[in-house]
Structure 1
Amino acid sequence: MSHVTARPRSRAWPPQGLVYGVDPSRFQDSDDDGIGDLPGITGRLDHIAALGADWLWLLPIYPSLRRDNGYDVDDHEGIDARFGTLEDFAKLVEGCHARGIRVMLDLVLHHTSERHPWFQAARRDRHSRTGAYYIWADEPLDAPGDGPVFPGEEDSVWAFDDEAGAWYHHQFYGFQPDLNRANDDVFDELVRVATVWLRRGVDGFRLDAAMPAMRSKPTEGTGADPARFYDRLRERLSEVRSDVALVAEADVGADELAVLADHRRVDAVLDFSLNNAMFLALAREQAAPLHGALDELDRAVAASARLNFVRNVDELDLDQLTDSERQEVFAVFGGGPDAFLYGRGLRRGWAPMMGDERRFRMTLSLLFALPGAPLLMYGQELGIGDDLSVDGRDACRPVMQWSAARTGGFTRAPDAPLILPAQHSGPYDFRRVNARAQAADPGSPLALTRSLAQLRRRIGLATLPMKRHPLPNSPSVLALSADGYLTVHNLGSTPAEVFEAYGAEPVLAERWNGHRLGPYGFAWLRRS
């Protein structure tokens, strides 16, 4: 396969537009087997480009049984046959680069599946070189704070392997044995894997579970220093691609985020603290939690090194809130006991959780106005729904809704196992919410998304210093300014006066009369 050489000419990071995340199995089926695939994504690149995407983040495409949506990796260097071939991947990368879009893959640092060749070799001799890639014990070892990531789904972080005659550590599921990142051979393997994909045309990586991957396990010699690890990773990968972008998923506090961002160890952090604060602010209808989170982030991480999101495609993890704060969010956005997951989050989708289309549109605008780059997951530009009849985290993973067809234009197969029941009926079904209809509607969420991305790019918001303006007389309003532009967002369900914006020219606004924001109103304003 030929090496892809043509690349976008714009700077790699920060993006001027947005990062667009796609689950390849749920985006577009091109071969009528009911599963999305790489050619399907290639065929929809014009939609992604029209959104203003600078980056396409592909969730795991590797061979896998997909018991954890592909993060149970069987082979870091291959492509799941259901998604296509290396040639299909090359065509996708070529199509992205031709449209000025860079490609980001997940680099799963934390674990493999138990089917991975590394683990198969390790279980045959846990004292071998490959055996040392994993974390073994003769008996399960307890340590403070060493519990399963998914409470209730796993009772322990240790599983017994009959062939090895020993216990292996797994922070996630039992079929995902943890890698020992303190092992230099593991580091070299991960560098080699990333190098393979860089030479196939990939432009960057999302580092999955970036900080948990570094933490010590109950056995000796299993903890890695994150500063040293990511310094070395940056150095080695920069030898292959000088402009490689690294984005660290980091559900940690500001101090740990600073470790990742210092010295450009990573280009950006996919930060959960602002996301948690946003939902608390929305629940209280007060901007104060957002101001507090932005204060901490400003001291730790430059705005240009943040990737913001409202909802990812797992549960809404509110682990950074206190118990009482979580209960405030649950009370407003929970909607019933079947919405809760792991005692810390909600499995509802973004648009259904907002309950009011005005609030959904306001939060969509807020995402583009916040300091940092916006991340949208596939379908969020349409306001797609969820399905709480589905177990676990898959409740908020519907397939993409392209048209009003029986399967939403996702597939021509008569049976598509990934289509959720709620996509056939209800307020968010294919007939009511789809890309074809919204493309023809100037008042649709899709049209708003495109306008916001174009405005953000025109202003050059990605690289401008931004100021916050607390409004004591309008505590529900978050006001931000940069280079003569002011954005105001009313997080509340009642009108709010914003006399500080009087006389500013509205560039994009909803429920704004020149000095007052209506319920969930917002405005992008140019000041003279």
Structure 2
Amino acid sequence: MTERNDHPWWERGTVYQIYPRSFQDSDGDGVGDLAGIERRLDHVAALGVDAIWLSPIFPSPMADFGYDVADYCDVDPLFGDLASFDRVLAAAHERGLKLLLDFVPNHTSDRHPWFVDSRTGRDSTKRDWYIWRDPAPDGGPPNNWISDFGGSAWEYDPVSGQYYLHAFLASQPDLNWRNPAVKAAMFDAMRFWLDRGVDGFRIDVLWHIVKAEGFPDNPPNPYWRPGITERDRLIQRHSTDQPEAHAIAAEMRALADSYGADGQARVLIGEIFLPNDAHARWYGTLDRPQVHLPFNFQLIENAWDAATLRTMIAAYEASLPPYGWPNWVIGSHDAARIAARVGEPQARVAAMLLLTLRGTPTLYQGDELGIGKVDIPADRVRDPQELRQPGIGIGRDRSRTPMPWDGAPFAGFSTVEPWLPLNPDWHTRNVAAQERDPASMLALYRHLLALRRTHPALSVGGMHLLDAADGVLAYERRHGDEVLRVALNLTQDAKPLPFAGTVVLSTLGGATSDTLRANEGMIFRPTS
């Protein structure tokens, strides 16, 4: 692999996702807000990350907690206003942090003025801004497409006698990106925030934004079985990942790049769930690039064992175009927390994996504390996906619980009962408590992030997988003359070290000369 010395900030750095509803409440309503984020930015800066990504803050009825946008160029009063956003942006920049917004281009709220107009009748000037179709000959939906939240992806409008498409809730109608006016309006919205100084966007469900012409039925998924989300009963061949969407992504990239003349690149991170070959196409080409980072969720989706991860890492790296920069995620507002999936001992190993693999890592708020499983009582469930398809383990509330800051009432998050329950061990698992403990998960994350900053081998170096004992994942990172090796024990048993060297960091503290303890990860400087 040819080394480069011109890595932009988004290749060298680390992104930290903030779910605004659950970060810090400043006004006593039980829901986080922008003033709360501003108050807690020192925690983020002290971690050692380079950028924050805010989940949606736009005006919204909150049917899907902000992913149903009613105005792309304002802030929901629940979170504050444009002035409070400007203060957060300035405060982040003062601390050397970039700020990314969550842009939602596939759909709006049904209360967005565009859709309100579109719904007035077939002769509305905004009718073609959304996807309306006549019923099938039997009077039913135009095709068999299934909403990601279950049920038909089509909603009947009795006034006009047509159906409109919604890939998610019926209150989230899909925009028609084949209409040039829609594209122009959405690009104007992106410009609004770029002109305001944001450093880029995480783009929600980017691979959804264009649908196949003619709207053919999606084929059945032969591997589907009851107990899996209803969406997966079909293969989304015609409702996602269309060639025209790639062209739009390339135009988005050109827009973002046009704001990089000051030497501070604006970054586009695309939410894209696809197999490696299709996923890699979202980088575009050298002469027509698309998103900088198509999000890679494979550390969330794969079994947690060394053999599986090794195979997955090798296949993902091999799938990348020569100009494509990798990226990794172990947690998000949509997935069960890493400590809930693999347990706290392995969550420490996962932290070392995330922050030493080649590529840009994204951290999710609270994972730096090792927050684990949080049971949400039935009467506290807020997630529409869980409410529509209960009992199959797809609820997202479990990862959206409030940040525990200290031992004060309601964990210092709020002065009242928060909108979702806190983690049950918040009295001891909170930021203040872990700051006092040099062996805490928070301390481990800070050490790992500091190592990334001081060792180019970890931030931008090449990577080579190494042989190791069963249950151990090992690899080498190299940049120039600097070489570091990583050995991760993904088992509950001690394992022989795969190589000799000086220990730079252990996830358990201390070190032994020839053994990886159970659930231990180590970074080594190899013996010369």
Matched-pair contact (CA < 8 Å) for 1:303–1:372: no
Letter of the aligned partner of 2:502 in structure 1?
A: E
Between the aligned partners of 1:247 and 1:309, the Cα distance in structure 2 is: 12
Deviation by residue 1:106-151 (Cα, 9 ceiling, x = unmatched)? 111110010011101111234444211111112144546x222123
| Residues 121-140 of structure 1 aligned to structure 2 (within 5 Å) | 121-139=117-135, 140=140
Secondary structure class of the residue paired with 1:216: coil
Letter of the aligned partner of 1:247 in structure 2?
A: I
Matched-pair contact (CA < 8 Å) for 1:42–1:95: yes
- For the structure 1 residues 49 and 183, does the alpha-carbon distance in structure 2 shift closer, same or farther, using more than 3 Å as the test? same
1:149 maps to: 148
- How far off is 1:214 after superposition? 3.0
Equivalent of 1:227 in 235, 238, 246:
246
Does residue 398 (structure 1) correspond to residue 401 (structure 2)? The answer is yes
Secondary structure class of the residue paired with 1:449: helix
Matched-pair contact (CA < 8 Å) for 2:69–2:112: yes
1:299 maps to: 319
Equivalent of 2:353 in 356, 361, 366:
366
Matched-pair contact (CA < 8 Å) for 2:134–2:142: no
Does residue 452 (structure 1) correspond to residue 445 (structure 2)? The answer is no
| Residues 1-40 of structure 1 aligned to structure 2 (within 5 Å) | 12-40=8-36
Secondary structure class of the residue paired with 1:124: coil
Matched-pair contact (CA < 8 Å) for 1:378–1:400: yes
Does residue 314 (structure 1) correspond to residue 334 (structure 2)? The answer is yes
1:260 maps to: 282
Equivalent of 2:258 in 219, 239, 246:
239
Moved more, 490-499 or 102-111: 490-499
2:231 maps to: none
- How far off is 1:215 after superposition? 3.5
1:194 maps to: 190
Matched-pair contact (CA < 8 Å) for 2:397–2:420: no
- For the structure 1 residues 240 and 16, does the alpha-carbon distance in structure 2 shift closer, same or farther, using more than 3 Å as the test? closer
- How far off is 1:419 after superposition? 3.4
- For the structure 1 residues 304 and 374, does the alpha-carbon distance in structure 2 shift closer, same or farther, using more than 3 Å as the test? farther
1:350 maps to: 338
Secondary structure class of the residue paired with 2:462: coil
Deviation by residue 1:324-373 (Cα, 9 ceiling, x = unmatched)? xxxxxxxxxxxxxxxxxxxxxxxx43223323x32121111111112211
Secondary structure class of the residue paired with 1:271: coil
Secondary structure class of the residue paired with 1:256: helix
- How far off is 1:394 after superposition? 1.0
| Residues 372-387 of structure 1 aligned to structure 2 (within 5 Å) | 372-385=359-372, 386-387=374-375
Between the aligned partners of 2:507 and 2:29, the Cα distance in structure 1 is: 42
Between the aligned partners of 2:437 and 2:192, the Cα distance in structure 1 is: 43
| Structure 2: tracts of 5 or more residues without a match | 1-5, 217-237, 387-395
- For the structure 1 residues 196 and 207, does the alpha-carbon distance in structure 2 shift closer, same or farther, using more than 3 Å as the test? same
2:512 maps to: 513
- How far off is 1:161 after superposition? 2.5
Letter of the aligned partner of 2:272 in structure 1?
A: A
| Residues 105-116 of structure 1 aligned to structure 2 (within 5 Å) | 105-116=101-112
Seq. identity, %: 32
Letter of the aligned partner of 1:469 in structure 2?
A: L
Secondary structure class of the residue paired with 1:520: coil
2:495 maps to: 496
Matched-pair contact (CA < 8 Å) for 1:15–1:54: no
Secondary structure class of the residue paired with 1:408: helix
- For the structure 1 residues 409 and 490, does the alpha-carbon distance in structure 2 shift closer, same or farther, using more than 3 Å as the test? same
Between the aligned partners of 2:354 and 2:299, the Cα distance in structure 1 is: 11
Matched pairs, number: 467
2:273 maps to: 251
| Structure 1: tracts of 5 or more residues without a match | 1-9, 316-347
Secondary structure class of the residue paired with 2:475: strand
Secondary structure class of the residue paired with 1:526: strand
Between the aligned partners of 1:524 and 1:206, the Cα distance in structure 2 is: 31
1:410 maps to: 413
Letter of the aligned partner of 2:503 in structure 1?
A: P
Matched-pair contact (CA < 8 Å) for 2:133–2:142: no
1:179 maps to: 175
Between the aligned partners of 2:428 and 2:196, the Cα distance in structure 1 is: 39
- How far off is 1:225 after superposition? 1.5
2:224 maps to: none
Matched-pair contact (CA < 8 Å) for 1:18–1:374: yes
2:74 maps to: 78
Deviation by residue 1:158-208 (Cα, 9 ceiling, x = unmatched)? 112344442101111111001112222211111100000011111100111
Secondary structure class of the residue paired with 1:477: strand
Between the aligned partners of 1:377 and 1:190, the Cα distance in structure 2 is: 27
Letter of the aligned partner of 2:353 in structure 1?
A: L
Letter of the aligned partner of 1:204 in structure 2?
A: G
Secondary structure class of the residue paired with 2:518: strand
- How far off is 1:15 after superposition? 4.5
Secondary structure class of the residue paired with 1:367: helix
1:431 maps to: 427
Between the aligned partners of 1:35 and 1:180, the Cα distance in structure 2 is: 33
2:298 maps to: 273
Does residue 464 (structure 1) correspond to residue 461 (structure 2)? The answer is yes
1:419 maps to: 420
- How far off is 1:480 after superposition? 3.4
Between the aligned partners of 1:170 and 1:79, the Cα distance in structure 2 is: 24
Moved more, 388-397 or 199-208: 388-397
- How far off is 1:463 after superposition? 1.9
- How far off is 1:275 after superposition? 3.1
- How far off is 1:402 after superposition? 0.3
Letter of the aligned partner of 2:294 in structure 1?
A: V
Between the aligned partners of 1:224 and 1:185, the Cα distance in structure 2 is: 19
TM-score (norm 2): 0.83
Between the aligned partners of 2:284 and 2:34, the Cα distance in structure 1 is: 35
Deviation by residue 1:372-408 (Cα, 9 ceiling, x = unmatched)? 1111111111112322425332122110100011210
- For the structure 1 residues 313 and 49, does the alpha-carbon distance in structure 2 shift closer, same or farther, using more than 3 Å as the test? same
Moved more, 119-128 or 89-98: 119-128
Deviation by residue 1:68-115 (Cα, 9 ceiling, x = unmatched)? 121011111110001111111111100111111111011111100100
2:306 maps to: 286
Letter of the aligned partner of 2:283 in structure 1?
A: A
Matched-pair contact (CA < 8 Å) for 2:70–2:109: yes
